[in-house]
Chain A
Amino acid sequence: MAALIEIDGLTKRFGSFTAVDHVSFTVERGEVLGFLGPNGAGKSTTMRMLAGFMTPSAGTARICGHDVQSDSLAARKSLGFLPEGAPTYPEMTVLAFLQFVGRIRGFSGRELASRVDHAVAITSLAGVRLQPVETLSKGFKRRVGLAQALLHDPEVLILDEPTDGLDPNQKHEVRNLIADMRAEKAIVISTHILEEVDAVCTRAIVIANGRIVADATPKELEQRAPSGKLDDVFRELTLPKVA
Chain B
Amino acid sequence: MRNTLIVARRELGGYFATPVAVVFIVIFLALQGVLTFNLGNFFERNQADLAPFFNFVPWVFLLLVPAITMRLWAEERRLGTIELLLTLPITQAQAVVGKFLAAWAFCAIALALTFPFVLTVNYLGTPDNGVIATGYLGALLVAGAFLSVGAALSAATKNQVIAFVLAVAVCFVFAVASYPVVTDFLSRNTPVLAEVARRISVAERYGTFTRGVIALRDVVFFASFIGFWLFLNTVIVEHRKAD
Contact = CB atoms under 8 A, between A and B. Distances in A.
A52 B6 contact: no
A77 B80 CA distance: 20
Contact of B80 (A73, A87, A106): A87
A94 to B, nearest CB: 13
B84 interface: yes
Given A76-B87, A83-B84, A148-B84, A91 B18 contact: yes
B89 A91 contact: no
Which one of A88, A89, A92 has the highest number of Cβ atoms from chain B below 10 Å of its Cβ? A89
Contacts of B6: 100, 103-104
Interface in B80-139: 80-81, 83-84, 86-91
A118 B107 CA distance: 38
A179 B193 CA distance: 68
Given A91-B14, A100-B10, A105 B88 contact: yes
B3 A104 contact: yes
Contact of B91 (A73, A79, A106): A73
A162 to B, nearest CB: 15
A100 B86 CA distance: 14
B86 A53 contact: yes
Contact of B88 (A85, A87, A89, A104): A104
Contact of A83 (B17, B80, B90): B80
B84 A87 contact: yes
Contacts of B241: 53
Contact of B83 (A76, A87, A100, A106): A87
Contacts of B88: 76, 101, 104-105
Interface of B: 3, 6-7, 10, 13-14, 17-18, 79-81, 83-84, 86-91, 241-242
Given A83-B84, A84-B80, A106-B89, 14 more contacts: A81-B87, A83-B80, A83-B83, A87-B81, A87-B84, A88-B81, A88-B84, A89-B14, A89-B79, A89-B81, A91-B14, A104-B7, A104-B88, A105-B89
8 contacts: A53-B83, A53-B241, A73-B91, A81-B84, A83-B83, A88-B84, A91-B18, A105-B88
Interface of A: 48, 51-55, 73, 76-77, 79, 81, 83-85, 87-92, 96, 100-101, 103-106, 132, 148
